Structure 1
Amino acid sequence: PFKNPPFSVVYNKGHGDCGGKEGEPPSKAESCTDDTRLVFKFQACPDVPGTEAAVEELECLGTWKESSNHYLVGRLHHKIATTDEERYRCFVYHRPESHFYEVAQSGEATCSGMVSPVDGSRTFKLTRETTHNRCKFPQWVTQHTHWRSLDYSHSFHFSHKNASLRITSRSVDSKTEIKLVCHQIINQKQHNVARIVVHVVSGCDNGYRCMTFYRRDNHVIQMQQSVMYNDPSEAGSCANDEMSPSNTITMITAGMPVGRCPLEGRRSTVT
C-alpha cells in the first residue's frame, strides 16, 4: 500500500528516532520488481541505541481498514528471521499527507494491541523522495511498444507513456523481470542514436545504468548498457569503453515485414 517508492525512512525502536537529524545516515525504502514487496535499507545511528545497518524485505500479504486505521499483515525476509514466528508481523499505518506515511510494527506475530501508527515495537516515518526526472524514451524506440531479442530469450515492453521499460527474460525453468524508468537523456543524435540514464529495479536491487540505443531500421534497434551504479551522476558519466560490443542486444519487432534483399543477382562464393 506504500505507493510510488522510494522513501526516506526515519525509524524508532524505542530509544529515539534514527535518520531524522542532520548528519545521520539516511535509511531508505525502495521498490522491488514484484509490487507486493518493499525493501528497507536501514542505517545505524551511533548516538541511538538499538539501531543497526540491515536490509529487510517486506512482503505484503493482506490489508484492511478499521475505523481510521489501516492494517497490513506482512512477512519480513532478512537474515535474522528463520522461523514463521519471526517473519510474520502486523503493521498499522496512516497517511496524513499524500507523500508521507506513519507506520507501527508489532513485536510478535500478532495484531493484538496494535491500535496506533505511532506506537509499536518499531515505528517508521516514510517520506516519498522525488528522484526521477520526467523524461521519455525516444519516439523511434517506442513507436513499437513490444520488441524481442533475436533468440527470443528477452522481450521488451515500453509503457504507453514512453517513460518506462519492462524486460522479461525466459529460460527453460525460470522467468525474471527488470523494470527501467527513464531518468535522464544525456544526448540524442538526430534520429539514430540516444544515450539515456535509467533507474533499474531488478528483484529488490535498485540502481542506475547508462543505456545507448541505435536505430538500425524501422524494425531493428540495438541496445548497449553499462554496469549498475548507485548514483545517477555516475551512470551519467559512463564512458564509451564501458559500452562494449559484447553487451549489445539486437531487438526486433514482433511482426517484422519482409524486405527486399539488397544482394540481387546470382553470385558464387569462395571459401
Structure 2
Amino acid sequence: YFRTESCYRCVVIHEKHINVLQYKETYCSLPSEQPRLEDLCLQISGDALLYSMFRLETPPVPCPFRGSFTFTYSRGHGECDYPVSTADPCTDESRMLFKFKACASVITSESREERLTCLASWKEGSTRYLVGKMEHKGTKTDDDKFRCFVYDRMQDNTGFRIAQSGDATCDGLFSAIEGSRTMKLTRIRHPHGKCHFPNWISAADRWRTLDTSWTYVFSDPITSFHVYNSTSEGLQTRAVCNSVDQATDDATRFVVQTTSLCKTGFVCMKVHRRTQQIMEIQQGLMTSRSSDACTSVYFDSRTSLFTTLTSSAPSTGECPLVGRYMIHSPQPQMDRFVSDGLEDNVCSEHLESGCRAIDRLEFLSECSSERRAKSFQCHGSWKENGTYYLIASALRTRRRYCIVSCSCSSRETKQSVCGSEYEEGSLDQIELS
C-alpha cells in the first residue's frame, strides 16, 4: 500500500547478489477495487521497467577481468579503434583503470581515464552481469558513478566483450554487444621476467624497512616483487624486472615495470648490496616508456632517496669502530634516548662498541643519581666515502635503527642516510673521542 498515492502495488524483489536487488512493480490499483495479492501480481508485464538497487558503502569484489588489455569502444556513432585504448589492473584486484583515447573520425570519443571498482557479479542463464562504480573527473553523485555491465568471453579466449548501461540501472541491458557504450577488450600478453634481480636476494625472506612499515616480497625465480604496507590494507606496488641497465659487484641498476595503486609505468631502480642481509634501493620517477626510465630526467643517483631493507630475521655481526668512546657535547644529548628524560644534568656519556660482546653496541649515561644504558645488537655495517653505516636493533624492543658515524674532518653524509623510513627514534648528532 502506497500512502502517498492511496493505492496498492505488487512489488517483486530479487536478490541478484548480496550487494544488488532488482524489482518490478505494477501500476496503482485503487483501494475500492480491493485487489487480491495473486491477481495484482499477475498484472506485472514482461516489459515492465526493471529497477536496480545497489548497496552503498560495501566492500568491493574481485573484477572478472584479470590482466592488462587494449580495447576499442563505441557509443553508437562508430567504433573508436585508433589510437587503441588500454585497461590495466590496479594493485587491488577489485579495481581497473580504463584509459580512453579519442579518435579523430568518431565524434563521441574523448580522451579520459575512468576507474572501475567492481561491486557485484552474477549470472542469469548464459548472461553474465557486473555492477561497479565508473569514476572520472566528471562524476559527483552515486547516480553518476554506478553502472551495470553485461560481459562475455571471446570465443578464442583472447579477451572480453562488454556492454555498459547509460545510468545507474540494469534495465534494457541484455547482451554484451548492445548498450550505452560497448567495448572489446583484447588481452595483452606481457612477457614476465625479462631479467632477474641479483641472486643474493633471498626469495624465502621478507625484506622490511627499518620501521617495518613496508615489506618487500620477491618471487621465485627472482623476476618480480610485491610491496605491502603494514599500516594500510593489501598490496601497494607490483614490480616486474624489465631490463638490466648497469651492473657492478655491489650495485645493479634495473628498469622495472611497476603498478602502484592504479598507475602503471616504468621506473629506474638501483639495488645496492650492503651485506648478505641488508640492501638499499633507490627509485626514480615513473614514465610510460621503458627507454626513458634511467635517463637523467627521471633518475639521478646523486639525489634519489635510499630505502634501507633488512631480511626478516638478520643474523648478528661484528660491530664497527671497536672501543670505548667519550661523548662530547655542551648538553647531554643522550638523556632522551638513553635515560628516558632524567632530570639530573650532571652526566657523563660514553659509547662502547664490541666491548661486552663482539656484536654489542652500548650508549651509556652515567649521572650522579644513576647509570643508564641503551644496548644494541649489530646486524651489519658498511663504509662509504669515509662514513660508516650500521644497522642495529635495540635489545629490549627489537626495533631497528640506522647509526651513522664519520670522522670529524668529514661531516658530509649521503642524502637521506639509511633511507627515509628510519626517522622515528633516530639518534642525535654527537661527537666521540
Q: 1:66 to 1:163 in 2, by over 3 A?
A: farther
Tell me how far apart the structure 1 counterparts of residues 144 and 190 of structure 2 sit (CA, whole Å): 33
Deviates more, 1:88-97 or 1:130-139: 130-139
* Residue number among 170, 177, 181 corresponding to 1:118 in the alignment: 177
User: In the superposition, relative to structure 1, how do residues 52 and 267 fare at CA in structure 2: closer, same or farther (>3 Å)?
Assistant: closer
1:90-145 superposed Cα distances (whole Å, 9 cap, x missing partner)? 11111123221111111122222222111111000111123445233222123443
Find the counterpart in structure 1 of residue 382 from structure 2: none
Q: Are residue 2 (structure 1) and residue 65 (structure 2) matched?
A: yes
2:402 — aligned with what?
A: none
Given that 1:210 and 1:238 are in contact with CA atoms closer than 8 Å, whether structure 2 keeps it comes out as no
Q: Quote the Cα distance in structure 1 between the aligned partners of 2:133 and 2:266.
A: 28
1:164 pairs with 2:224:
yes
Aligned with residue 225 of structure 1, among 264, 269, 283: 283
- Choose from 193, 197, 201 the match for 1:137: 197
Aligned residues: 264
Structure 1 residue aligned with 2:85: 27
Show the counterpart of 1:104: 163
Which of 216, 221, 243 in structure 2 is aligned with 1:184?
Answer: 243
Find the counterpart in structure 1 of residue 98 from structure 2: 40
CA distance in 1, matches of 2:259, 2:196: 17
Amino acid at match of 1:107: G
Q: Aligned AA for 2:305?
A: N
SS at match of 1:86: helix
Whole-angstrom distance in 2 between the partners of 1:115 and 1:240: 48
Select the structure with the greater relative contact order (CA < 8 A; seq sep ≥ 6). Answer: 1
Aligned-residue CA RMSD (Å)? 2.5
1:201 maps to a residue whose letter is T
CA distance 1:104–1:175, change in 2 (3 Å): closer
**CA spacing shift, 1:175–1:59, aligned 2, 3 Å:** closer
Provide the rounded CA distance (Å) in 1 between the counterparts of 2:157 and 2:244.
29
Query: Which SS does the other structure have where 2:83 is aligned?
Result: coil
The alpha-carbon distance between structure 1 residues 58 and 247, as it changes in their structure 2 partners (threshold 3 A), is: same
Q: Distance in 2 between matches of 1:82 and 1:136?
A: 44
The verdict on how the C-alpha distance between 1:237 and 1:145 changes in structure 2, with shifts beyond 3 A counting, is: farther
1:208 to 258, 266, 270: 266
Unaligned runs of 5+ in 1: none
- Quick check: 89-98 or 240-249, which moved more? 240-249
* Residue 73 (structure 1) aligned with residue 160 (structure 2): no
Q: CA deviation at 1:175?
A: 8.3
User: What CA deviation, in whole Å up to 9, does each residue of 1:218-247 have, x standing for no partner?
Assistant: 111111111111111111545896123541
TM-score (norm 1): 0.87
Query: Normalized against structure 2, the TM-score is what?
Result: 0.56
Residue pair 2:206, 2:216 contacting (<8 A) in 1 also: yes
Q: Structure 2 CA distance, aligned partners of 1:16 and 1:127?
A: 18
* Cα offsets for 1:20-62 (capped at 9, x unmatched): xxxx322111121211001111111121121111111011111
Distance 1:184 1:251 in 2: 22
Shift of 1:185: 2.5
Kept after mapping to 2: 8 A contact 1:226/1:238: no
Tell me if the contact between 1:103 and 1:124 (Cα under 8 Å) persists in the aligned partners. Answer: yes
